[in-house]
Structure formats: structure tokens, C-alpha cells
Amino acid sequence: MPSASAKAFSGVRTFASDVTDGFLAITHNGFALLGLAVAFLAITLFARPDLRHTGEAQLRDWLQARQVAMAPAVDMPSEPTAIERATATNPKELPNEQAAVAFWLSKKYRVAPEPLAALVSEAYALGKSNQIDPTLILAIMAIESSFNPFAQSSVGAQGLMQVMTSVHTDKYENFGGKLAAFDPVSNLRVGVKVLKDAIARAGSVEGGLRHYVGAANLPNDGGYAAKVLAEHNRLRQAAGLRPTPAAPSQPLLTAKQTVPATTAAAPVASAEQVALNTNL
């Protein structure tokens, strides 16, 4: 007579065998049903071309949508970064006029001619595209920073063109942010934008310089425009060009002159006024 353990083992084996047979039967039937479904679908699509075309179009659209969704986003900067751009060039490779200006500035301001040559070339390109005399752009750099790209004034004007970075932050967005103010070419391009707006607003170069320095609403600009225009003419002479006609200068109040009683005393430009006047 078999023992209890033998009976239990036999029962478990019979149960496992039944489960396996049932699973195989279900699987076999499932595959059979799947095959029938596929065959039925194929016959239907063959008999109904319109359904087949609709299904193909939907599948194609889904695949394209998935491809677009999975494609990595690529940010293409509209302006090259300072690392991607050469910061110096051989002045001897420039046109004669630009080379003469680069060597003259290098000697006067004791700056290496190679980085100056790159700035001169950029100033000429920007001057042409913005209809501004490039030697005027270079004259502003000379007066503002003496070609020191890291210069900063007491009111926050920064870089070669001494742009108020806090006021014109939006203009640096295409260059990677406000720290680009210390990249020479980025600062130059933003400064030319500000200068162009200033000249357009004032209607003249001298008036534009007053706007640029933040003295548009002040009685005088402290001689800023005269300094820039004088350097402008020296640069034109260095380039072998004719000097520009001298604009009538605006008289400045001296210590011996008195302000009429009906006129308020001239205000002193504060940092806030400079920022406001240069917010073009």
C-alpha cells in the first residue's frame, strides 16, 4: 500500500501535468485565434483598399510624430561665442586703409596690433551695414575705454564701447548673456546698435553722441562729443581720408559766467540719469 507521501507526490505531479496540458491547449488555441484574426484582417484590407490606405496614413503620421518627439532639441546660437571667433588677425592682411588705422591706433594706445586689427575689421564691417563711419566707431572706443575690453566706469558702463550693461541686457541675449559685455566683438556690436539708435533719435552725429553719453537732457555733455569728433578726424587723417567738417560747438558755462535768475542751476548727471538717457 503506497505511503501518504507517495500519494501526495503523485497528486502534485498529476496537477502539474494537467496545468501544463491546459496551458499548452490555451496557447495553441490563442495562436490559432491570432492567426485567424490576422488572416481576417489581411482579407479585409485586401478587399477594402480605402481602409488599407487610411491605416497606412495613420501609421505614417504616428511614426513621424514619434520621430519628432524623440529628436533631441538643438539650440543654434544666432551669434558665435568668443571662443569660436578669432580675437586677433594679422594687420598686414587688411586693406591698406584699415591697416593704416590699426597701426596708428596700436602706436598711440600701446595695444598689440593683432587684436586691434580684428576690431578695426569688425568696425568697418559694422559701419558698412549700419551706415556709420567706421572711424567714428573706433573713435568712440578710443575715448570711452582706450581699447581696454575690461574697462568699467563708476556708473556701470562696461567694455570697449562702455555700454550700460544693466540697461541694455536684452541686447546681449544673442551673445550668451550680459557677461558677453567683456567680449570685445560682442561689446562692439551692441555698442554700435546703441549708437545707431542714438543718432537716429537725435537726428545728427553730434546729437547722437550726446545721447550715447547720457547727456541728452543736460545743458552740456562735458566736451564728450568734441573729444570723439576730434579723435574721429585724427583717425580719418591716419586712414588717408579727408577730415569731416567741424560741427559748431556748444559753449560751456565757465566759473565767471552766472546763471540768469530765471534759469535753474544746471543739474549734475547722476548714475540713474545716465542709465535713463542711454536706455534706447
213 touches 224 (CB < 8 A): yes
pLDDT score recorded for residue 250: 42
pLDDT score recorded for residue 165: 83
Rounded Cα–Cα distance for residues 190 and 170 (Å): 10
Rounded Cα–Cα distance for residues 144 and 131 (Å): 21
pLDDT at 182 over 80: yes
**Residues contacting residue 55 through CB under 8 Å, at least 6 positions apart:** 45
Q: What is the pLDDT of residues 17-73, one digit of tens each?
A: 765 666 666 666 666 666 666 666 667 656 666 666 676 777 677 676 766 666 555
More confident of the two residues 9 and 191: 191
**Exposed e or buried b for every residue in 199-229, given b needs 16+ CB within 10 A?**
beebeebbbbbbbbbbbbebeebeebbbbbb
- Asked which of 10-24, 56-70, 78-92, 178-192 is least confident by mean pLDDT, the reply is 10-24
Own/partner long-range contacts of 165-171 (Cβ < 8 Å, ≥24 apart): 166/275, 167/275, 167/278, 167/279, 168/194, 168/278, 168/279, 168/280
Which conformational region is residue 173 in: left (phi greater than 0), alpha (psi within -120 to 50 degrees), or beta? alpha
Q: What is the pLDDT of residues 221-275, one digit of tens each?
A: 999 999 999 999 999 999 888 887 655 444 333 333 333 333 333 333 333 334 4
- Asked which of 101-105, 156-160, 225-229 is least confident by mean pLDDT, the reply is 156-160
C-alpha cell at 157: 558702463
131 touches 227 (CB < 8 A): no
Residue 43 neighbours by CB distance under 10 Å: 10
Q: Which CATH number fits domain 91-246+269-277: 3.30.450.20, 1.10.760.10, 1.10.530.10, 1.10.3720.10?
A: 1.10.530.10
Range with the largest mean pLDDT of 59-63, 80-84, 120-124: 120-124
pLDDT score recorded for residue 140: 97
Rounded Cα–Cα distance for residues 167 and 9 (Å): 88
Tell how far CA 75 is from the center of its chain.
Answer: 12
**Residues contacting residue 166 through CB under 8 Å, at least 6 positions apart:** 156, 178, 275
